[in-house]
Structure 1
Amino acid sequence: MGKTDMKIFETKESEVRSYCRDFPKVFTKAKGHKLWDEDGNTYIDFFSGAGALNYGHNDDHMKEKLVEYITNDGITHSLDKATTAKAEFIQKFNDVILEPRNLDYKMMFPGPTGTNAVESALKLARKVTGRTDVISFTRGFHGMTIGSLSVTGNASKRKGAGVPLHHTVTMPYDNFVDEQDSIKYLEQYLEDDGSGVDLPAAMIVETVQGEGGINAARFEWLKKIEGVCKRHDILLIVDDIQAGIGRTGTFFSFEQAGIEPDIVCLSKSLSGFGLPFAIALFRPDLDIWSPGEHNGTFRGNNHAFVTASAALDYWTDKSFEESIKEKSKLTLDYLNQIVEKYPELNGRVKGRGLMVGIECENGDIADQVTTECFNRGLIMETAGMDGEVFKLFPAINIDEGALKEGLSIIEESVKVVVKEPVTN
């Protein structure tokens, strides 16, 4: 078979496609932290499927379990019928993740994607409280369906809804305005009868905003948000779809803040293998759903149950979490050195764990850095309202040598961009 003609995508696929424009190659193979294209070029992957491949590509242990399950004619599609694969995941997730963290949550399988988890969380919060509004935060991103878009801050994504987005109120995220006490501002709106803000059903927040520009909330700010919710009987929803599953150093991104959300949304790397899989976790007393009241045809992805159970084996070894923290420190130190070494970048390091990036003076510079990285064999994307942040999402189990190699490519690319600006 000959090489793929890129015209097939240009002529037959919708103009809505995006990543293939940034990385204009036909990819054929992936393993661990690497990708290969049809020309035989090798790329280090610091994109990780936008956070859906925290364990890298085609992990041997997960693949072995999945192949064994498929060859034994295990159930593929089951809606929400009981299966052995689902039972194993529920038990293992409880034993390995929830119980050691003293978290008592029921599990809901709402559908295969992150936005399904968010939609179910919003519906449940409104059902439990009998209230309508939800407070979200500036620059937040929670998905592309109507409910999720209503709590998303990005103007261009909201515009794509095509209809007015109602029943949400946006409040400033931590350090959205440097001199502003956002907690005081929030409480003033909740307590002042003249504010025009009704008591909401819930607040939804990312502890680190991915699409919004790798904005990391301070732990004390998150703790105060939890306090506000408790004082006013508001449900706290943490969207851990991108920041969770080890991306920020611990399984849940909120662990270090010492908070316990009422509802948690997970997806992306939950399956461990890139298979569609999402869950909503919530306090048992909130489980007032009627059977089938929220459902979805693909809420029983058994292949994802199998690989997700296998992925949890990583978390039975305490040294795994420590290794993430070590690589996080190495990465943070390296990025700080780049900013210091190349002041022309006007850069600022942002994020937490292995969810970090450098905010540039503008989106053009960040784009030039990612383009140069791609030309040198590293895949990385941008984030932020104007794409002004180039962000690093290496696999959390990447070996140190590969991590350093990728960081070196970033430095080389920054050097080219600031010393020899690319012209369009």
Structure 2
Amino acid sequence: MKRFGKVVPVLRPQELKNVFPDFSGGVGTPYTVFNSSTGEKWLLFTGWKDPVGLKREGAVAPIEKNLTVDTGKIKKILPSGMIPGNYTMNAVRGVYNPVREEFIVTVTQDSEAYIFLFDADWNRLGFKRILENVGDHGVPFKPMGAYGYLHDAVAAIPSGEKIKLLAIRDVDDLDKMRVEDYGVVAWHGGGNDVLDLILMPRISVITESDEFGKWVLKMFMGPPLSDVKGLDSEGGVPVIGLLEGDILPNLMVDDSFTQIGHPHYTTEPDGYPKILFSSFRDTWSTRRDTEREGYVHEIYAVYVDHSIFDPRSYGVLKDRVFVEAKRELLGKWYWTGSARKALLIHSGAKSSNVSIEVFEATSLINPEDYVVTRLEIPEDRGKVSLDEPAPFIKINSINPARGSLWLVLKY
């Protein structure tokens, strides 16, 4: 059965008015969680009733293979008001820990982020604040495994125009849990917000971004795990960069959704790859009762294929690798894949010739094995290209270190 490109409704608040009226105002931030101990599959999401969408609550419900949600079994797990706030429980992400038979859920509220632990029946066991001065973007996280990274997870958050990677050490233990900042992995984005982090099949971030006066989705693509040593200061993850691509043409959604956001890539619950997302159809006009835009979010799924992780399907991938005014540092490794050309564009500073030192490597398993390529941008050009770049490249230095430098990969 051909599924690629098919769009399926998952949960619509208009259909909850009689079944679960507390969520008749909107539903969002969908995330699937698989209980591997019992085989149960859950939709983790937020819901609300108030017309301005500020008093949101975290909830779960069973989800079937046909993407039907058992609305009769919706359970609030993060009620509004349990932690005092103005914009409550606005984005949730989670995983199941089969070793301890517990669910681990992150949530953002106002300017803080929390981690909660729940037992196998979604009874709350405890929670801890892990971040301050953040937005309503959620904190997607993925456990690493073992072999040096037991108990650790990698996470991602937006920070204005930037996307950052974090490590959550001892993510399964509230007493020991701590967060480490691994810095900026991608720069460009008008207003990155709710996002999802993906490690398999490729290190990537899918984020909603406020562009063209609309919330749309973007892909930030990184290397395959097989070419990165690990989650430590010399292993690769803290020093990789992610390259931005336009994922919307691969999703084939249409303008009836008006705006889309809250992305989540998953193969659950039916074994087929898909992106769950929220549609914001009523955000372009003003309600008469509140004199504000609408907040009736709906949850849908769009089936995808391998092309969303194939850089060739994007044509162009890009990142701003150096920004003098923002003190953005050089030194991130970018996976080029099958790029035929790397274009370096320098702007924002008048100077004579600009010298750029580029490192090229075949893998980050042995990042010390690289060759140095020196490029020069003439004063009257502003750009230079590198044909057939190696699988990994790093802009190591720019002289003079002024203005901005973009890396654009063409496939």
Higher helix fraction (1 or 2) = 1
Normalised TM-score (structure 1): 0.25
Normalised TM-score (structure 2): 0.26
Higher strand fraction (1 or 2) = 2
